[in-house]
Copies of this chain bind each other. A is one copy, B any other.
Amino acid sequence: MNPINSDFKTRQASSSESSDSESPVELASQQTPLFQPPPPTSGDSSKLDRWLMRTMLEKAGNPEVEVVLWDGSVITTATTPVSVRAHIRNRSTLYKLIFDPSLYFGDGYSLGTIEVEGGLVEFNEAIDQGTHKVDTQGFYRDRFRRSLGWLKRNTIDAARHNIHHHYDIGNDFYQLWLDEQLAYTCAYFPDPDDTLEAAQIAKMDHVCRKVGLKPGGSVVEAGCGWGALAIHMAKHYGVNVRAFNISREQLAYARERARREGLEKQVEFVEDDWRNITGSYDSFVSVGMLEHVGLKNYEELGRVIARCQRPHGRGLIHSIGCNSPRVLDSWTTKRIFPGAHVPSLSEFMRIFEPQKFSVLDVENIRLHYARTLEHWLERYEQNIDQVRDMFDETFIRTWRLYLSASVAAFRSGSLQLFQVVFTNGANNEIPWTRAGLYQERESGSVEG
């Protein structure tokens, strides 16, 4: 059985309630089978093999890469000398690539039947740049494929499964490469040279300022990760927060942290789906959850917000997006984020337009996500020995590809990062300009 066809092996998490542990989840022992790339066993490549590979590259927009087959044959459609190349170790990998390039490039890399030379980020970037050049029909083809994606409804049960798949594989794993507050979303770097830690705090302040938090106000957060933003809002802006999440490991960590910081009364972490949010709040905030909501549920999300955000409140949704409607590649949706969808702005508007919300501000901070991911990838590689103590080589390579391909996607413009601020259509209690977002302030000062 293909080891990456099932959920990654994870460790038994100990109770996260143990208060005397730095890391609330302890490492349990596990098998880490030695990684053995399959030997090349396909003999010489045939004319057909080489023709197929070349045709694939042409269809992919002639990216500036080389492909080296198992017998050393070099295939390329690049017009200039290239610095990145992929090695395909056997014929069956090549034929799988024809069937679904995205899925089997990823799986091939994970299993070691594909190796990349010259940088995994750079290789993916070259592929993305090629793809951008391809056909003008893409818009309509993508719309059609996306409409098929509509059929997949992320029900509450499916959502639980999907979230568990990615987020419940061990808080200590994420601690190896995220910032110290475990913010697993795009940071905001006022200066590109800021540290990741500083940039995650700046992102939280940017969000808080955009929605205009006031002391004593209330916020509902949909999808709170390990609780960094909820705690930041309570601690630095004096608001009461109710934060929803369906990842049990994340919630355990978040509750423990709120307890340690003495904020249990100000921040309530609720293990439930966003569809079950009740109550009324000044602001609705959601950072990095929309990707998991599924396009078909956007209108329902809008109804939930309309129900729970007070007429004079401002809300914010922060999400990965794209420039035109498309489906995510099959590798990402099968191996990394089941059920994920990244919206174009017109799709994003399905949340707001049926409710006649007024969209006040859309900011695209795509390059900040490339920068964030560079930090994550760097820390991941720095701590690779510790990752190796936790997981097998297939896992290591899968996550390396995921982080590298994500850097490439945000650098090349395949993915965007949108922050959308919105309010009730009749609300005139809105900032006169956006200048207040850019005034020098201490972290945590409240919008004037």
In this assembly, does A6 line the interface, its C-beta being within 8 Å of a C-beta of chain B? no
A residues 319-375 touching B (CB-CB < 8 Å): 323-325, 344-346, 349-350, 352-354, 356-367
Name the residue among A188, A361, A366, A433 with the largest chain B CB count within 10 angstroms: A433
Measured between beta carbons, the chain B residues less than 8 angstroms from A427 are: 413
Closest chain-B Cβ to A298's Cβ sits at a distance in Å of: 11
Measured between beta carbons, the chain B residues less than 8 angstroms from A323 are: 352-353, 356-359, 425
A residues 297-323 touching B (CB-CB < 8 Å): 323
In the bound complex, CA of A144 to CA of B388 (Å): 57
Q: Which residue from B361, B364, B439 sits with its C-beta under 8 Å from A359? A: B364
In the bound complex, CA of A187 to CA of B349 (Å): 26
The residue in chain B whose Cβ has the minimal distance to the Cβ of A435 is: B438
Q: In the complex where A139-B356, A345-B349, A425-B413 touch, is A190 in contact with B433 (Cβ < 8 A)? A: yes
A residues 98-148 touching B (CB-CB < 8 Å): 129, 132, 138-139
Measured between beta carbons, the chain B residues less than 8 angstroms from A430 are: 367
Asked whether B432 lies within 8 Å of A367 as measured between CB atoms, the reply is: yes
Measured between beta carbons, the chain B residues less than 8 angstroms from A411 are: 428
In this assembly, does A1 line the interface, its C-beta being within 8 Å of a C-beta of chain B? no
Measured between beta carbons, the chain B residues less than 8 angstroms from A413 are: 358, 425-428
In this assembly, does A218 line the interface, its C-beta being within 8 Å of a C-beta of chain B? no
Measured between beta carbons, the chain B residues less than 8 angstroms from A439 are: 438
Closest chain-B Cβ to A256's Cβ sits at a distance in Å of: 34
Q: Which residue from B189, B363, B416, B428 sits with its C-beta under 8 Å from A358? A: B416
Asked whether B435 lies within 8 Å of A354 as measured between CB atoms, the reply is: no
Closest chain-B Cβ to A305's Cβ sits at a distance in Å of: 14
Asked whether B350 lies within 8 Å of A346 as measured between CB atoms, the reply is: yes
Q: Which residue from B138, B360, B412 sits with its C-beta under 8 Å from A426? A: B412
In this assembly, does A153 line the interface, its C-beta being within 8 Å of a C-beta of chain B? no
Copies in the complex: 2
Closest chain-B Cβ to A193's Cβ sits at a distance in Å of: 11
Measured between beta carbons, the chain B residues less than 8 angstroms from A59 are: none
Q: Which residue from B346, B356, B426, B435 sits with its C-beta under 8 Å from A190? A: B435
Measured between beta carbons, the chain B residues less than 8 angstroms from A346 are: 345-346, 349-350, 353
In this assembly, does A3 line the interface, its C-beta being within 8 Å of a C-beta of chain B? no
Closest chain-B Cβ to A250's Cβ sits at a distance in Å of: 29
The residue in chain B whose Cβ has the minimal distance to the Cβ of A416 is: B358
Measured between beta carbons, the chain B residues less than 8 angstroms from A426 are: 129, 132, 412-413
Closest chain-B Cβ to A371's Cβ sits at a distance in Å of: 9
Q: Which residue from B345, B428, B437 sits with its C-beta under 8 Å from A345? A: B345
In the bound complex, CA of A352 to CA of B345 (Å): 10
Q: Which residue from B132, B190, B344, B354 sits with its C-beta under 8 Å from A353? A: B344
In this assembly, does A192 line the interface, its C-beta being within 8 Å of a C-beta of chain B? yes
In the bound complex, CA of A129 to CA of B424 (Å): 13
Closest chain-B Cβ to A355's Cβ sits at a distance in Å of: 8
In this assembly, does A259 line the interface, its C-beta being within 8 Å of a C-beta of chain B? no
In the bound complex, CA of A416 to CA of B360 (Å): 9
In the bound complex, CA of A364 to CA of B420 (Å): 11
26 contacts between A and B (CB under 8 A): A132-B426, A139-B356, A188-B433, A192-B432, A323-B358, A324-B353, A324-B356, A344-B349, A345-B345, A345-B346, A345-B349, A345-B352, A345-B353, A345-B362, A346-B349, A349-B349, A358-B366, A358-B413, A359-B362, A361-B362, A411-B428, A412-B426, A413-B428, A434-B438, A435-B438, A437-B438
